[in-house]
Chain A
Amino acid sequence: MNALALPPRARAAVLVTRGVNALSRHLGMGSGTVAGGHAGLAVDPELLAHLAAGRRVALVTGTNGKTTTTRLLAVAVEGALGPAATNATGSNMPQGHVTALATSPPGAAAVLEVDEGYVPGLVASLTPDVVVLLNLSRDQLDRTNEVRMVASRWRRALADAPRTVAVANADDPLVAWAAQVAARPVWVAAGLSWRADAVGCPACEGRIAFAEPPAAGWSCTCGFSRPAPDVWIEGEDLVTAGGRRTRLRLQLPGRFNRLNAAMAAAAAGALGVPADEAVARMGTVGEVAGRFALVTVGGSRARLMLAKNPAGWVELLDLVCPGHDPVVVGINARAADGRDPSWLWDVPFERLAGRFVVATGERCRDLAVRLRYAEVDHRAVPDPVAAVRLAAMRLGAGRRGAGTAGAPVDVMAVDGAPVDGAPVDGAPVDGAPVDVIGNYTAFHDLLSRAAGR
């Protein structure tokens, strides 16, 4: 697509989008993705449809794994389709999509992360080639959060999208309910770590019965049951239609990232990219927008991880739990996190028993009380940098002290305000990293205060 092929109004809107974004960046008001999109849409409300015309378009949505799967898919299709227009900064509402498309080369394929609520509108206006539906579970308790309502809105949208391939998680009943009506579903066995929001059958309000892991499968007495998967992971291999096996080697850690990659590979397949090529390219991704990044915080090495809701926490606790080293857990409750951190009680923090946890962030007091009742050894240190330092000291002391993780260390120095200056007593910068898990804004706070990326 050539920009000149756009209608005059859309052309003007593109110029406005770029101009406002450049201005916003220049004034230091942000990363320059939202304001321009806003302005562009004000000039031409149909701008997204115009910009998407003639492109291959894939949308990625779900409660967890959106940003990572979007990145994996964009990388997977790069060889076959060229660099894709993508909203890598996580601006996953229409303003961000406008910016991603308006600033990309004409005709470039688009791989867009989409907030769950915007799926129906975008499916209708962009007629995407592929929609990737990862999972649906509770998130941000203080907002209207009827996951069932989201699933039925997806369902209506897909019923009206005959040329869209729905790459859907067969293990999540709400997602399966939505994608059941798609003209062209591709079912991926992408796992479900959090069942609490899926026990009510979306078809009949009855109860879904789940097979006990490791067996997969679920069904309701009304007949609604898990669709047979077209793509799944078996041992080290990704298995795709026709029994084709591809060894799945990723730098990103964790079972959930392997499942994200399976979803991305299925979507790449729908865009004509063979599984082995998609997998090889996805293996080059080492971090995604700071997730799993190795950084230096206050002179200590840390591995940063993000978990935004109970389902995400369950996944990350699985990842970090085999171990005895200290962990830093950061909790905020700003608007972007949800103002009500009661969900801390839905997370099985009991799994951290035996480890020393440094609770940090603006709501570290809530977490400290939660950890008290989980009977997990912990300490609340509101400043995140000081928290990482304390964990690093305990880690270093544990390593030096012949494996005694709780070796005595004077922790008073790091309590309260951050200690200025160079690392005084933390683990050496080249030591093993401290695992740091934060919810949304706690994670971004740490990322912005980290060096050495």
Chain B
Amino acid sequence: MSLRVVVVYPELLGTYGDGGNGRVLVHRARWRGIDAELLEAPADRRLPAGDLYCLGGGEDGPQLQAAESLRDDGTLAAAAAAGTPVLAVCAGYQIVGRSFPAADGRPLEGVGLLDVTTVKAPAPRAVGEILAEPLAQALAGLPTLTGFENHGGHTRLGPGVDPLARVVAGVGNGDGTEGAVAGRVVGTYLHGPVLARNPALADVLLGWASGAALAPLDDTEEEALREERLAAARRGRRAAAFRRRVEAWRR
């Protein structure tokens, strides 16, 4: 039977190219001889059975709609409870938590796959390149994560989750950590899409979903992209530190 990769509600959670995560997973499976299919699941139908679910980022209104539909539907929560891997990005990460903020800051009920709570951040939106060093035990040995973040939330981690990574440059959860992991549910603020920029993370998810040992692929082009983005984010971090010092002198 083929591996079913489900992209959840692309019309609601598809603002930042995160649909690419599904494509990356399917191709990386097929290139290894694993039969895989991509299911784009619209919000007006029951979520199909899948072996791996991907949720992306979206605007405030659609985010609320997606959370309500997912809670009513129940498929995602049942699948996650049964150990099916879930990758949830940005708005998707927020809605798989316990609660997330409406546009006016009021807390809304999430799907509850991750023990995290997101509140509206006081500062301006976190927009820019982000670098983070993986922390979670389940992801031990992964190289530095790179992505682009664009969100206005601070996410607090409860005791039921581990942080996905430690922020090197950028904002992430807002407390120096980035993302969250519990079992096979991974939440992150990283766009890019995250799996295109971090193929090792894609392979962890694929390994969980397929149960197969995965042969290495030629990721020369991903490596070139990663090298460039890592360097850019480090330059950005140095520039930001310099700006902060200048500000401090002026005060």
Interface residues, chain A, CB within 8 Å of chain B?
138, 141-142, 144-146, 148, 196, 199-200, 205, 207, 339-340, 342-346, 365-366, 368-370, 372-373, 375, 380
A207 with B44: in contact, given A148-B61, A373-B23, A380-B224 (CB under 8 Å)? yes
Residues B11 and A199 in contact, CB atoms below 8 Å apart: yes
Residues A345 and B11 in contact, CB atoms below 8 Å apart: no
Among residues of A, the one whose C-beta sits closest to the C-beta of B150 is A142
Among residues of B, the one whose C-beta sits closest to the C-beta of A342 is B17
State the CA gap A141–B19 with chains docked (Å). Answer: 15
Among residues of A, the one whose C-beta sits closest to the C-beta of B125 is A144
| Chain B 120-144 residues near chain A, CB threshold 8 A | 125, 127-128
Listed A/B pairs (25) with beta-carbon separation below 8 Å: A141-B17, A142-B150, A146-B59, A199-B11, A200-B62, A339-B127, A340-B148, A340-B191, A342-B16, A342-B192, A344-B17, A345-B17, A345-B18, A345-B23, A345-B193, A346-B17, A346-B19, A365-B228, A369-B197, A372-B221, A372-B222, A373-B27, A373-B196, A375-B27, A380-B224
State the CA gap A199–B62 with chains docked (Å). Answer: 11
In the assembled complex, how far is the CB of residue B38 from the closest CB belonging to chain A, in whole angstroms? 11
Given contacts A339-B148, A342-B148, 11 further A-B contacts (CB under 8 A): A142-B148, A142-B150, A199-B11, A339-B127, A342-B16, A343-B16, A343-B17, A345-B18, A345-B193, A346-B14, A370-B196
State the CA gap A380–B222 with chains docked (Å). Answer: 12
State the CA gap A345–B196 with chains docked (Å). Answer: 10
In the assembled complex, how far is the CB of residue B147 from the closest CB belonging to chain A, in whole angstroms? 9
Within 8 Å CB of B2, what residues of A? none
State the CA gap A370–B19 with chains docked (Å). Answer: 12
| B-side interface size class | 20 to 34
Task: Specify which of A138, A207, A375 is in contact with B15 (CB 8 Å cutoff).
Answer: A138
State the CA gap A352–B16 with chains docked (Å). Answer: 22
Within 8 Å CB of B222, what residues of A? 369, 372
Among residues of A, the one whose C-beta sits closest to the C-beta of B147 is A342
State the CA gap A366–B14 with chains docked (Å). Answer: 18
In the assembled complex, how far is the CB of residue A218 from the closest CB belonging to chain B, in whole angstroms? 14
Chain B 215-242 near chain A by CB (<8 Å), digits 1 or 0? 0000001101100100000000000000
Among residues of B, the one whose C-beta sits closest to the C-beta of A371 is B221
Q: Which of B20, B27, B197, B222 has the most CB of A within 10 A?
A: B20
A345 with B19: in contact, given A196-B14, A373-B24 (CB under 8 Å)? yes
Chain B 46-72 near chain A by CB (<8 Å), digits 1 or 0? 000000000000011110010000000
Task: Specify which of B15, B20, B127, B225 is in contact with A368 (CB 8 Å cutoff).
Answer: B225
State the CA gap A345–B23 with chains docked (Å). Answer: 9
Chain B 194-209 near chain A by CB (<8 Å), digits 1 or 0? 0011000000000000
State the CA gap A375–B27 with chains docked (Å). Answer: 9
Interface residues, chain B, CB within 8 Å of chain A?
10-11, 14-20, 23-24, 27, 43-44, 59-62, 65, 125, 127-128, 148, 150, 191-193, 196-197, 221-222, 224-225, 228
Residues A340 and B150 in contact, CB atoms below 8 Å apart: yes
In the assembled complex, how far is the CB of residue A200 from the closest CB belonging to chain B, in whole angstroms? 7
Within 8 Å CB of A145, what residues of B? 15
State the CA gap A196–B58 with chains docked (Å). Answer: 12
Within 8 Å CB of B60, what residues of A? 146
A369 with B150: in contact, given A340-B16, A345-B196 (CB under 8 Å)? no
Residues B20 and A373 in contact, CB atoms below 8 Å apart: yes
Residues B224 and A368 in contact, CB atoms below 8 Å apart: yes
Residues A365 and B192 in contact, CB atoms below 8 Å apart: no
Within 8 Å CB of A372, what residues of B? 221-222
State the CA gap A200–B224 with chains docked (Å). Answer: 38
Within 8 Å CB of B61, what residues of A? 148, 200, 205
In the assembled complex, how far is the CB of residue B8 from the closest CB belonging to chain A, in whole angstroms? 15
Among residues of B, the one whose C-beta sits closest to the C-beta of A205 is B61
Closest 6 CB pairs of A and B: A345-B20, A342-B17, A345-B17, A365-B225, A340-B148, A342-B191
Task: Specify which of A142, A200, A342, A365 is in contact with B221 (CB 8 Å cutoff).
Answer: A365
A380 with B17: in contact, given A340-B191, A342-B193 (CB under 8 Å)? no
Among residues of B, the one whose C-beta sits closest to the C-beta of A149 is B59
Residues A369 and B221 in contact, CB atoms below 8 Å apart: yes
A369 with B225: in contact, given A342-B148, A342-B191 (CB under 8 Å)? yes
Within 8 Å CB of A141, what residues of B? 15-17, 150
In the assembled complex, how far is the CB of residue B129 from the closest CB belonging to chain A, in whole angstroms? 8
Residues A342 and B20 in contact, CB atoms below 8 Å apart: yes
State the CA gap A372–B150 with chains docked (Å). Answer: 25
State the CA gap A138–B150 with chains docked (Å). Answer: 15
State the CA gap A145–B44 with chains docked (Å). Answer: 24
State the CA gap A199–B58 with chains docked (Å). Answer: 13
Residues B11 and A196 in contact, CB atoms below 8 Å apart: yes
State the CA gap A339–B192 with chains docked (Å). Answer: 11
Residues A380 and B19 in contact, CB atoms below 8 Å apart: no
Within 8 Å CB of A200, what residues of B? 11, 61-62
In the assembled complex, how far is the CB of residue A416 from the closest CB belonging to chain B, in whole angstroms? 13
Residues A368 and B17 in contact, CB atoms below 8 Å apart: no
Among residues of A, the one whose C-beta sits closest to the C-beta of B218 is A372
Among residues of B, the one whose C-beta sits closest to the C-beta of A378 is B221
State the CA gap A168–B91 with chains docked (Å). Answer: 33
Within 8 Å CB of A146, what residues of B? 59-60
State the CA gap A339–B191 with chains docked (Å). Answer: 12
State the CA gap A366–B146 with chains docked (Å). Answer: 12
Within 8 Å CB of A207, what residues of B? 43-44
In the assembled complex, how far is the CB of residue B74 from the closest CB belonging to chain A, in whole angstroms? 21
Within 8 Å CB of B10, what residues of A? 196
Within 8 Å CB of B191, what residues of A? 340, 342
In the assembled complex, how far is the CB of residue A308 from the closest CB belonging to chain B, in whole angstroms? 15
Within 8 Å CB of A373, what residues of B? 20, 23-24, 27, 196
In the assembled complex, how far is the CB of residue A217 from the closest CB belonging to chain B, in whole angstroms? 19
Within 8 Å CB of A199, what residues of B? 11
Q: Which of B17, B44, B192, B193 has the most CB of A within 10 A?
A: B17
